[in-house]
Structure 1
Amino acid sequence: MPSSGPAERHEPRSLDDAQRTRRDGALRRLVGDQAGIVARRQLTAIGIDWDAVDAHVAARRWVVRTPRVVSTVTGVLTTEQRRWVGVLHAGPRSILGGLTAASRHGLASWERDDVTVLVDDELSFEHVPGVRFFRSRRPFRLLTSTKPGIPSALLEPAILLWAAYSAPPRVGVGVLAAAVQQRLTTAERLTEWIDQLHPLRRAKVFRSALGDIALGAHSAAELDVARMCLLARMPRPVRQRPRVDRSGKRRWTDCEWVTSEGRVVVLEVAGPAHQEAATWDDDLRRLRRITAHDRVVVQCSSRELRHEPRQVAVDLIALGVPGQLPDSAA
C-alpha cells in the first residue's frame, strides 16, 4: 500500500518527540519540586543518561554536587538546596533528622550549619561536606512526616533522638523545652514519643523534665530553678511576671517569691549571651530600675544554677524566701 511507507517512516520520529516531551516534563517537575537538585538515579529513570548529564556539566549549565547528585543551578546553594543534596545523596531510604528536621517544622533559634540526615542502612557512600549522616534502626514509617516536600522526620522523634544521642543532657532538655514553648508540640506528645522510641537514652531525665515543662517551664534555666526548689524545699516561683520599671517600660522578671514579711525577692538568671558588654550594661540598668523598697532583685548565672544550686538557694533563703536545706549544704 503506497501510504504505508511514509506512515511507518514518521512513526519513530513521532515516538521520539513524545518521549522527549515526557522526559522534559518529568525533569521540570523534579527541578521544581526539589529546588533544582536532582539525583543521577532520578535522571536515569526519566531517560537522561550520564553522558547527557556530563554534557550539561561541561556546558556549565549544571554542577556536580556529589558523585550521586547534581544541581541544575550554579552558585552557592541555599539551605533548602543543601538539605536536598544530603537526602538525595543518601538515597530513597533517608530523611532529614535532628535539628535540621526541627528547623523545617518551625523550631527557631536552634539552627545548625550542618545538615543532619537519618539513614536506615550502612553508611557505604561518600562523605559530603556539611552533611552529617546517622544510622537509625528504628522503622522509618514511624519516624517520617507526611509534610509535603523534602522527606523529613516528625518533630518529636527528631528532637528526642538528637537530645538523647547528639547533645549534652542540659542542651537536650533545653531543645524539648523550646519546642513546647514555641507551641510546636506539647509535653504530653513528647512523653508519648519516649514510649514509642523505647529504648531511648536519658528517657528518665526527659520524663522528669517534661513534667516540669508541662507545668510551665520554658527553658533549661527554668527547669534548673524547679530542681533547686525541690532540693531546698522552696515554693515554686512566679515566672515571667510583668513589672513596670521607673522609666515606665514594661519588663518581665524571671522568678519571684514573696517572703513572710511581704517583700518580693526576684531572681534573674543570666546566660552566656548576657555577658556581652552592651547586653550586660542593659541588664544591670534593667535590674536597678525594677528594684524597689519592697522588692529586692538578685542575679545568678545559668552555670551557678546548674552546678551550684545549693549555694544559690542558701542566698535566697537568707533573703527571706521560704525553704530549708540540710545543714551540710549551708
Structure 2
Amino acid sequence: MRIIFMGTPDFSVPVLQALVDAGHDVVASYSQPPRRAGRGKALTPSPVQARAEALGIAVRTPVTFRDAEAQAEFAGFGADVAVVAAYGLILPRAVLDAPARGCLNVHASLLPRWRGAAPIQRAILAGDAATGVCIMQMEAGLDTGPVLLRDTTPVDAKTAGVLTDELSAMGARLMVEVLGDLDAFAPVAQPGDGVTYAAKIDKAEARLDFTQSAAAVERQVRGFNPVPGAFFEFQGERIKVLAAQIRHPGEGGDLHEDSESEQPDGPGLRRGDGGVVLDDLLTIACGDGAIRPTLLQRAGRGVMTAGELLRGFAIPAGTQL
C-alpha cells in the first residue's frame, strides 16, 4: 500500500521499520520538529526522523496542520492510508480524510481504557493487571475511533521502558497484519463504559510519595523508569530510584505491625512514618508497608545498587525523606 507514516519517539520506530520490511511504499514520514537536546543544546531530530532519513524516506516536520498549505502537501502524497504511532500533533478533519482509507493509529492501551497521551505509564501507576495495543481507525475525538485489531499482555513487574518496547513490537506486528488485508478487519465501536484518560506525565509526579502504600510507591518507580525517573531528595540532592522491592511486616525482621514493638537493628514501622528510613539497608517506610530501593542514581553519576550508594553517601536510619 501507499502509506504516509506519522510518529515521533522511539516507540514509533519499529512500526515504521515493519511497514518498510513488509514491502509497503512509505511515501513520506511525518514527525515533530527537531528539538534542542544534550549539553550543547543542538537541534536533534526525533528517532522517527532519523530512521526515515536513513531509509531514504521523505521527511516532513510541520509545527501544525492548521494551515491550508500543510494540509495540501499532506493530501498531495496520494496515500492509500496514513499510519499514526505516537505522533503528538492533533490531526484536523482535512488530514484524517485525505488518505483514501483514512488514518490508522497504533494505540498502546486496551481502549477505551487509557485514551490520551501516556497510556503505558498510567496503566502501570494504576496497577492494571494487563494492557495491550489497539489498531484504531482515527476520527475527530481523542482515541474514540473503532478498533480493527487488538492484543494483550500482562503488566507484571515490568517497567515503563520494558513495556514500551514490548507494546511497540506488538503494534508493529498488528499493523502489518491489518494492512495485509484491510478489508478483512471490520471496525468495532468502542464500548461506552470503562473510559479513562491517560493525562500527559508531569515531572512533579515522579517525586516518590511515601504516604502512599508500598505497592503504589513501587509502581511509581516502575512507571517512571526510564523517564522522567522516580526520585526522592536528601540533603538537597535529587536521587533517582530505578528499581525497588516491596517489604512487608515481619519480612527480614526489619518491619513490625505492632506500633509498640522495637527491634535491635532499626526503628519499627509505625502508622504515619511514611518516608522514614528504617534501617541501614535504605528500607523506607510508606503509608502501608515499606520499600527498599535496589537500583539508584545520583545526579551526574552512574546507576548503582543501594549498597554502593550507601558506602559513600550515608542515609542513616531515622532520616525523614
In the superposition, the TM-score normalised over structure 2's length comes to 0.27
Higher percent of residues as strand: 2
Q: Looking at both structures, which has the greater relative contact order when contacts are Cα pairs under 8 Å and sequence separation is at least 6?
A: 2
**Structure possessing the higher radius of gyration over alpha carbons:** 1
